Structure 1
Amino acid sequence: MEDDVDINTLTIEQYLAWVQDDIRPGVVKPKIGNDVKFEINSNFMRELRHKLFKGTDDEDAHEHVRRVLEIADLFHFHGVTHDAVMLRVFTITLKGHALRWINRLPAGLVTTWDLLEKAFIRQYCPPFKSAKKLEIIHKFKQEMHETLYHAWERYNDMRFKCLQHDLNCQ
């Protein structure tokens, strides 16, 4: 709806639809031109909703972002920017605490995918979690009945996750 609308002439549904854009989303979705067809097909939706991020301590925020980016990269929408796609699809991969967090962001706060990704990582991978991961790596020991090969694989998995998260694992 346009900004110069007389709200006294609107139905309640029209009014709510009009104000929703101004007060609800902290994530501002870029406009897509009328001549561009943007539709999230059912296969794309199924993949995105396969493993939702809830914001629990045992979930990896970096891994979730990587997974969503991998799925989004499989689908190309002619005339639609990466920001427009990601700002629309990322929110549908969240539920529970994470969905409440994103819905409570101040209106208009997030206008690019980069901002959303950074806010999400800051929220769900704070410095104390990173410090804990580094501490586990620094205190790594081979288990009593573990082969050297399996210990080495487990250590490399931890280091890989650390490097994936841009942590200094030295």
Structure 2
Amino acid sequence: MRTRSSLEYTIPRRRNRRRSRQQQEAIPIVDKFSIQMADDRPMAEQLQAPTGGFESAIVVPPINAQNFELKSSLINLVQNRIFRGGNDEEPHAHIRHFESITNNQRYPDVPNTTIKLLLLHFSLDGVAKTWLDKEPPNSILTWDDLVSKFINFFFPPSKTTNLRNEITNFRQIAQESFSEAWERFKELLRKCPHHGFSLMHPISHIL
């Protein structure tokens, strides 16, 4: 049988154990907090938005020509046909049109591909502009690289498959003349330059 004195003796010991456990559990919390606050910069500086990492994806080679400047008339000409990345737009057609404008541009000591790298973003807007802005900084080094990434993004394999199926299953429509069917078929080939078919493929379906 326990006495009153023995009960009074056991209570402080139980409280001490409880306090000891709380102290032990508090140690990793304090350590974790101290690790998070290891950055000793002023709080106002830590909350500032970063100013780095916003370089353009397109790397333009150094230009050694003196007094080089893109003409505003050329920029306006490029902007007359904007590519926005819609489903009904054709990336191949846009590149062909862009090159028809820029291929004849000549600047002393400036390669034509450099002019193209400088100009293409002027011809983009909407989804297409966002695509280029999201490309990793300094990740596009050449004109061929830019064209490849542009075409593959806006002309994915699924689109190639759909157009190839249309070409494979091409048929002349009722009341459609041979010349009309032929032009319609060539338009399909134009939309998918990497179709892999010959012009003679649909003859049996048209005649």
The match for 1:10 is none
The match for 1:30 is 61
Pairwise CA distance, 1:42: 2.9
The aligned runs of 1:126-165 (5 Å cut-off) are: 126-162=156-192, 165=193
Would you identify which runs of 4 or more consecutive aligned residues in structure 1 move more than 4 Å? Answer: 19-22
Alignment of 1:94 with 2:94, yes or no, is no
CA contact (8 A) 2:56 2:138 kept: yes
RCO comparison, higher one (Cα < 8 Å, 6+): 1
Query: What does the per-residue CA deviation read over 1:142-169, in whole Å, with 9 as the maximum and x for residues that have no partner?
Result: 111211221122112323443xx22212
CA contact (8 A) 2:85 2:126 kept: yes
Query: What does the per-residue CA deviation read over 1:105-146, in whole Å, with 9 as the maximum and x for residues that have no partner?
Result: 111101111111111011011111111111111111111121
CA contact (8 A) 1:54 1:94 kept: yes
Alignment of 1:66 with 2:96, yes or no, is yes
Q: TM-score, normalised by structure 1?
A: 0.80
* Match for residue 168 of structure 1 among 171, 175, 196: 196
CA contact (8 A) 2:121 2:129 kept: yes
Q: Would you say how many aligned residue pairs link Structure 1 and Structure 2?
A: 149
The aligned runs of 1:15-26 (5 Å cut-off) are: 23-26=54-57
Higher alpha-carbon Rg? 2
Q: Which runs of 5+ in 2 are unaligned?
A: 1-49, 199-207
Output the CA distance in 2 between the equivalents of 1:160 and 1:130: 12
The match for 2:76 is 46
* Match for residue 140 of structure 2 among 87, 110, 113: 110
Output the CA distance in 1 between the equivalents of 2:145 and 2:58: 9
CA contact (8 A) 1:49 1:93 kept: yes
Q: Which runs of 5+ in 1 are unaligned?
A: 1-18
The match for 1:125 is 155
* Match for residue 87 of structure 2 among 31, 53, 57: 57
Output the CA distance in 1 between the equivalents of 2:163 and 2:100: 24
Query: What does the per-residue CA deviation read over 1:41-75, in whole Å, with 9 as the maximum and x for residues that have no partner?
Result: 23312220011000111111111111111100121
